Amino acid sequence: MAVQNGKDLLIKIDLNGSGNFQTVAGLRATRVSFNAESVDVTSLESAGGWRELLAGAGVKSASISGSGVFRDAASDERARQLFFDGEMPDFQVVIPDFGTIEGPFQVTAIEYGGTHDGEATYELGLASAGRLSFTVL
């Protein structure tokens, strides 16, 4: 895979539940993390005393974070409303030359900031809230 532009990693939100995805406006930095818990099944009979893990077990999760400039666009407004309403719609994460991750996420954090001589900024945190799908680009 060739070197990719960071700005091409996109977080998109379903604006109205109809599959109408729009890039979250004003993002400057994004980060995606995937995790899988392991289930340890090591016993006294484990070969050579090495740890053994149970295949296919454990909880999988994904988290997304982003920061950027607050624009009060439709996607910013939707993210803010999702936080207050506790809804968990589908999001898409487009990873260039890799694929698209899609599924339900909960908005777990929104932070707003700014200085007297700068722009208003925000940070957004998302946690997976169900099964995610992956589509190769």
34 phi/psi in degrees, rounded to 5: -115, 140
Under 8 Å between Cβ of 1 and 97: yes
- Full-model pTM: 0.84
Quote the domain boundaries for residue 39. 6-136
- Asked, for residue 89, whether it belongs to a domain, the answer is yes
CATH of the domain at 49: 4.10.410
The label of the residue with tokens 């993210």 reads 79
Pair of tokens at residue 17: 């539940």
- Asked, for residue 124, whether it belongs to a domain, the answer is yes
Mean pLDDT by 10 residues, the chain (137 residues): 67 88 86 93 93 93 91 83 94 90 96 90 94 93
What was the pLDDT predicted at 75? 81
What was the pLDDT predicted at 28? 86
- Distance, C-alpha 29 to centroid of its chain: 12
The upper half-sphere exposure of residue 27, i.e. CA atoms within 13 Å in the direction of its Cβ, equals: 25
What was the pLDDT predicted at 5? 62
What was the pLDDT predicted at 41? 95
